[in-house]
Structure 1
Amino acid sequence: MKQYVITAHDFTDAEALQRRINMRPAHLEGVKILKSNNNYVVGGAILNDAEQMIGSVMIVQFETDEQMQKWMNNDPYVTGKVWDKIDVKPFRQAVI
């Protein structure tokens, strides 16, 4: 499977954190599905100095770029306008 590292920074408007909080349960339900399908490797929130969530880092794996893009386009953090700047790079996990 192809692996990807996703670094996503949230919008910075006054309502951004509340949108994240509102969308978080749906996002995490989607992550559970990814995990059950062996598409989720690891992920979590990027925090600011006040330990508030301001973004995400995820490592996911899919058979094709198209499958990864379809998942990402439908993730609640994308459709709910939580993630603003999203960077996706190919990734290869070191197996030690």
Structure 2
Amino acid sequence: MKQYVLTAYDFTDADALGRRMDVRPHHLDKVKELKENGNYIAGGAILNDEGHMIGSVMMVQFENDEQMEAWQNNDPYVTGKVWETIDVKPFKQAIV
């Protein structure tokens, strides 16, 4: 499987955190599915100095780029307009 690290930053408008909190349960449900299917490696929220969530980092693995892109494009944080910028890079887990 190909591994990826995704770094995503949220929109910064006044409603951004509210959108994140509204969509978060759906995002976490999808993460649980990823884990059950063997696609999830690790992940969590990026916090600002005040401890508020402003983005995410995820390490995932898929058979190919198309599967990774299909998951990414359908994640609730994308469809719910939470993540504004997303950077995806190839990744190689050092120790399993």
Q: TM-score range by the shorter chain?
A: over 0.9
The RMSD of aligned alpha carbons is 0.8
Identity %: 71
Q: Distance in 2 between matches of 1:38 and 1:51?
A: 30
Q: Distance in 2 between matches of 1:30 and 1:92?
A: 22
Residue ranges of structure 1 left out of the alignment (5+ in a row): none
1:45 Cα deviation from its structure 2 partner: 0.1
Runs of 4+ in 1 over 3 A off after TM superposition: none
2:89 aligns to what?
89
Q: Distance in 1 between matches of 2:47 and 2:64?
A: 30
1:2 Cα deviation from its structure 2 partner: 0.2
Which runs of structure 2 are paired with 1:2-13 in the superposition (5 Å)?
Answer: 2-13=2-13
Residues 1:36 and 2:36 aligned together: yes
2:24 aligns to what?
24
TM-score (norm 2): 0.98
TM-score (norm 1): 0.98
